[in-house]
A and B are shown apart, each in its own frame.
Chain A
């Protein structure tokens, strides 16, 4: 049987398809599914789907794979994880895909760099899982969608908000989560642990921050911490739609969208990831997005607030850029408690001294 080795993103996609996280996808995208996702953010069935989920041919030999052929999908160690029945083999314009999905063809964008690194021939077809990808980290936090749904039902939660960021959690994120908790039964804190940029905060550091925070500042019975195995696309608005719709499969009814969700650099406007939801009928999205403005601690209000709720100026707001936080930590200085909980700051400081960044 021919074999295709999966890269990190494809491996994460395979795991999510197999677990039902990417339902209704049952395999890597066929050409019709791909065209629908790229051109109109919908699958041929009409279901909203804003991101291509594709398997690239890795060698010239694989490019000769024909529909009807079964191929073994391997992890990086050469373990066979699944069999895919190839139904489509199709060439694409990655320039067009980048422009449509990432809204740029700039080589500085990590998503464009990824596209440049893979073949422009994709293989589509349903997969049949043989074994789950092997993990050595976050084992106790890896819950499949069917498990989170059982968990929410067991806790009696009907309204569940999902929250995701690839950044360490600061007071602003905590504020968003607790605002969401005020109007829902529980929250799924769902940090992304798939492949990210090399200079993003490592997932293990982010998870330790969450553990510290939840232990001390959250009502445990109303929070579930679990990991989201997807790889980052850095597709900003389109990825926000994707992150929202897949959370339905996990049993969530609401999804928090803050400023520049899934963005990178200055490729997207601050609230592009929110306005894109307006392009769809809410019934088609079928999960309620919770939009939040820029949040901060206001010294005059004496509390956390956002530009929607605070009348004061920037001079009264405690806000630090990621660059500033990294600089402070590298100099042995902790961010103020109004910006980051001391316990989280300690985790970040420890990571920074080991070269993990903040």
Chain B
């Protein structure tokens, strides 16, 4: 898509997709697939919804050393460890 320069990087997409996008942008004012992809990605990246997406995993509440010790002790007493 874009040549490798200090300010630009190359993205690889499947060729059938590239060719399909080429067809799609005909007559739309976009001069290249690169220009179209940059426009779409910039638009997507600017959406606040993406940033507000629920965290993938709620980090478990951090246990204190005392809680950890107590949990291990109980697990040992119950025969799990």
Do A and B actually bind? yes
Tell me the A residues contacting B by CB distance below 8 Å.
Answer: 20, 23-24, 45-48, 140, 143, 145-147, 149-151, 154, 224, 248-249, 251, 283-284, 286
> Once A and B bind, how many residue pairs between them come within 8 Å at the CB atom?
50
Taken together as a complex, chains A and B put the C-alpha atoms of A154 and B74 apart, in Å, by 13
Tell me the B residues contacting A by CB distance below 8 Å.
Answer: 52-54, 56-58, 60-61, 63, 67-68, 71-72, 74-75, 78-81
Are A151 and B61 interface neighbours, CB within 8 A?
Answer: no
Are A140 and B78 interface neighbours, CB within 8 A?
Answer: yes
Q: How far is the CB of A46 from chain B (nearest CB, A)?
A: 4
Are B78 and A286 interface neighbours, CB within 8 A?
Answer: no
Cβ–Cβ < 8 Å partners of B56 in chain A: 283, 286
Q: Which residue of A lies closest to B77 (CB)?
A: A140
Given A47-B58, A143-B75, A145-B60, 17 further pairs, Cβ under 8 A: A20-B60, A24-B58, A45-B54, A46-B52, A46-B54, A146-B63, A146-B67, A147-B74, A150-B71, A150-B72, A151-B75, A151-B80, A151-B81, A154-B72, A249-B60, A283-B56, A286-B57
Cβ–Cβ < 8 Å partners of A286 in chain B: 56-57
Taken together as a complex, chains A and B put the C-alpha atoms of A80 and B7 apart, in Å, by 65
Cβ–Cβ < 8 Å partners of B61 in chain A: 20, 23, 146
Q: Which one, B57, B58, B75, contacts A147 given CB within 8 A?
A: B75
Q: Which of A48, A147, A149 has the most CB of B within 10 A?
A: A147
Are A154 and B57 interface neighbours, CB within 8 A?
Answer: no
Taken together as a complex, chains A and B put the C-alpha atoms of A150 and B62 apart, in Å, by 11
Are B60 and A154 interface neighbours, CB within 8 A?
Answer: no
Query: Contacts A46-B52, A151-B75: A146 and B80 contacting too (C-beta < 8 A)?
Result: no
Taken together as a complex, chains A and B put the C-alpha atoms of A150 and B54 apart, in Å, by 25
Cβ–Cβ < 8 Å partners of A154 in chain B: 72, 75, 81
Cβ–Cβ < 8 Å partners of B74 in chain A: 147
Cβ–Cβ < 8 Å partners of B81 in chain A: 151, 154
Taken together as a complex, chains A and B put the C-alpha atoms of A284 and B57 apart, in Å, by 9
Q: How far is the CB of B13 from chain A (nearest CB, A)?
A: 21
Q: Which residue of A lies closest to B53 (CB)?
A: A46
Cβ–Cβ < 8 Å partners of B52 in chain A: 46
A-B contact pairs, 16 of them (CB 8 A): A20-B61, A48-B54, A140-B79, A146-B60, A146-B61, A146-B63, A146-B67, A147-B74, A150-B68, A150-B72, A150-B75, A151-B75, A151-B80, A154-B72, A154-B75, A248-B58
Taken together as a complex, chains A and B put the C-alpha atoms of A244 and B42 apart, in Å, by 35
Counting from the closest, the 9 A-B pairs by CB-CB distance are A46-B54, A150-B71, A147-B71, A47-B54, A140-B78, A151-B75, A286-B57, A151-B80, A286-B56
Taken together as a complex, chains A and B put the C-alpha atoms of A66 and B72 apart, in Å, by 42
Taken together as a complex, chains A and B put the C-alpha atoms of A315 and B75 apart, in Å, by 47
Taken together as a complex, chains A and B put the C-alpha atoms of A20 and B80 apart, in Å, by 20
Taken together as a complex, chains A and B put the C-alpha atoms of A286 and B57 apart, in Å, by 7
Cβ–Cβ < 8 Å partners of B57 in chain A: 248, 286
Q: Which of B53, B54, B63, B81 has the most CB of A within 10 A?
A: B54
Cβ–Cβ < 8 Å partners of A151 in chain B: 75, 80-81
Cβ–Cβ < 8 Å partners of A45 in chain B: 54
Taken together as a complex, chains A and B put the C-alpha atoms of A23 and B72 apart, in Å, by 22
Cβ–Cβ < 8 Å partners of B72 in chain A: 150, 154
Q: How far is the CB of A79 from chain B (nearest CB, A)?
A: 23
Q: Which residue of B lies closest to A45 (CB)?
A: B54
Are B67 and A224 interface neighbours, CB within 8 A?
Answer: no
Taken together as a complex, chains A and B put the C-alpha atoms of A24 and B74 apart, in Å, by 25
Cβ–Cβ < 8 Å partners of A284 in chain B: 54
Taken together as a complex, chains A and B put the C-alpha atoms of A151 and B76 apart, in Å, by 10
Cβ–Cβ < 8 Å partners of B71 in chain A: 146-147, 150
Taken together as a complex, chains A and B put the C-alpha atoms of A223 and B74 apart, in Å, by 18
Q: Which residue of A lies closest to B49 (CB)?
A: A46
Q: How far is the CB of B44 from chain A (nearest CB, A)?
A: 15
Taken together as a complex, chains A and B put the C-alpha atoms of A224 and B78 apart, in Å, by 12
